[in-house]
Structure formats: C-alpha cells, structure tokens
Chains A and B, each alone.
Chain A
Amino acid sequence: DVKVTQSSRYLVKRTGEKVFLECVQDMDHENMFWYRQDPGLGLRLIYFSYDVKMKEKGDIPEGYSVSREKKERFSLILESASTNQTSMYLCASRTTGVEKLFFGSGTQLSVL
C-alpha cells in the first residue's frame, strides 16, 4: 500500500524556535507538497517540489522554507516559529501526469 509518512503527529514548540517537519514517501513520486489547514480556510499550499533540489512557492510561503535533498523526503522548515503558524500541516505526493495526491496523516503544530 502507498504511504506518505509524517514524522510527528503532534508537536509543541516555543515562539522563535526553528522547527523541522519531515515527510517521507515510498512511491518514488516526483512531486511533493506541503499544505497547512486551518478552520474556515481549507487547505492552503505552502511549497511544492517537482524534483530533487527543486522547489516552488505556493500560496503562502512567507515564514517557511523547504528542503528536498532526496527524492523520497521533503522537509518543511519554520525558521523562527510564531504563534500564527499554529496549524495542521499536511504533506502530499503524486506522480507526474496524474493529479492523484496521496496525503500523510498530518502534524498538528502548536506554537506557544
């Protein structure tokens, strides 16, 4: 069965901390995505990557960066966490040519 694994289900961090969210997929997908989901706002795309070392900004990239050193791993980095980054973070992947996204279970991040 296909799998997208996010490293943590729940995470609590302090304001100003550097935060790493890790995502690994086992399907050899070229494309990987980071979304955040907030009540009333739906899913919003932060960053995506269509190949190793390639990245593109989504709708809300401010305050975030990403890293894709290996095809199977896509990391989201909060350089200096702020309270308005408290959210559910969802990683997804897909192969090129079909818009069928596979999502991880999500990381609920709380920044205090």
Chain B
Amino acid sequence: DAKTTQPPSMDCAEGRAANLPCNHSTISGNEYVYWYRQIHSQGPQYIIHGLKNNETNEMASLIITEDRKSSTLILPHATLRDTAVYYCIVRVGGNAGNMLTFGGGTRLMVKP
C-alpha cells in the first residue's frame, strides 16, 4: 500500500471550511484514497473515498489532484462536533486483501 503523509494537527474556526491535506506520492493506479475520522473515545467512522474523480457526499468533499499524488478532504462548514483525528488511507479496493492500515492522522480542532 502507498504511504500517506498528513500534518499532525490543524485548527479551524467554526463555520469555516476545513481543508485537510494528504500526500500519497507513491500511489498506484488501482489504489483508492479513503478518509476516516475518529472522535474522542469512539471508533473510527468512514467519511468518503475516491479513485480519480472528485467525490462529494453528505459529510464531505474529496478533491484528488490530476496526478493523484495528493488529495484534500473538505468539510464545508466545520462544527465543534467535527473535532476529531482524520485518517487518510490509500488502499487497493475490492477483494485484494482485508486490511486497512491507519497511520497517525491529522488532529483537527474546530474552535468557536
């Protein structure tokens, strides 16, 4: 699996967009980018995933660069409840193996 690099921490003002970057310069053509988050004392929660195209769902948007070497998770209007550790994971999709490896992630602090 490709290695990912994320900043260890970020701050964001409540109501503003939170943009969380992830570098994955060794990503392969068949590897997806997944984002999870973990709110304190809870299990991780799936947010979104994508291969090449930008993706949007009710939680967030995922922007993947054209060369796929980096991506950005966007929370359009961050709330205090979005304070969490955000994990970017790169993995071959489908049935190729069963393991997602969680790295250190980015600790996002949303401030009033």
Interface residues of A (CB under 8 A from B): 4, 31, 33, 42-43, 45, 48, 50, 56, 58, 90-92, 96-106
Q: When the two chains form their complex, are residues A99 and B44 in contact, meaning their CB atoms are under 8 A apart? A: no
Given the complex of chains A and B, what is the CA–CA distance between A96 and B103 in angstroms? 23
Q: When the two chains form their complex, are residues A99 and B91 in contact, meaning their CB atoms are under 8 A apart? A: yes
Q: When the two chains form their complex, are residues A99 and B32 in contact, meaning their CB atoms are under 8 A apart? A: yes
Given contacts A92-B43, A106-B43, contact A101 B98 (CB under 8 A): no
- The residue that B103 contacts in the complex, of A42, A99, A105, with Cβ under 8 A, is A42
The smallest beta-carbon distance between A41 and chain B, in angstroms, is 9
B53 at the interface (CB under 8 A from A): no
Interface residues of B (CB under 8 A from A): 32, 34, 36, 41-46, 49, 91, 93-95, 98-105
Q: When the two chains form their complex, are residues A99 and B49 in contact, meaning their CB atoms are under 8 A apart? A: yes
Q: When the two chains form their complex, are residues B34 and A99 in contact, meaning their CB atoms are under 8 A apart? A: yes
Given the complex of chains A and B, what is the CA–CA distance between A104 and B99 in angstroms? 17
Given the complex of chains A and B, what is the CA–CA distance between A91 and B43 in angstroms? 8
Closest to B99 in A: A45
- The residue that B44 contacts in the complex, of A43, A50, A56, A97, with Cβ under 8 A, is A43
Kindly list chain A residues whose C-beta atoms are within 8 Å of the C-beta of B102.
42-43
Secondary structure at the A interface, as helix, strand, loop or mixed, is strand
Given the complex of chains A and B, what is the CA–CA distance between A104 and B104 in angstroms? 20
Q: When the two chains form their complex, are residues A103 and B103 in contact, meaning their CB atoms are under 8 A apart? A: no
Given the complex of chains A and B, what is the CA–CA distance between A92 and B101 in angstroms? 13
Given the complex of chains A and B, what is the CA–CA distance between A104 and B105 in angstroms? 19
Given contacts A99-B32, A99-B93, contact A48 B98 (CB under 8 A): yes
Given contacts A31-B98, A45-B99, A56-B98, contact A101 B46 (CB under 8 A): yes
The 9 listed contacts between A and B (C-beta, < 8 Å) are A42-B105, A45-B101, A48-B99, A92-B44, A98-B93, A99-B32, A99-B93, A99-B100, A105-B42
Kindly list chain A residues whose C-beta atoms are within 8 Å of the C-beta of B94.
97-99
The smallest beta-carbon distance between B48 and chain A, in angstroms, is 10
Closest to B96 in A: A99
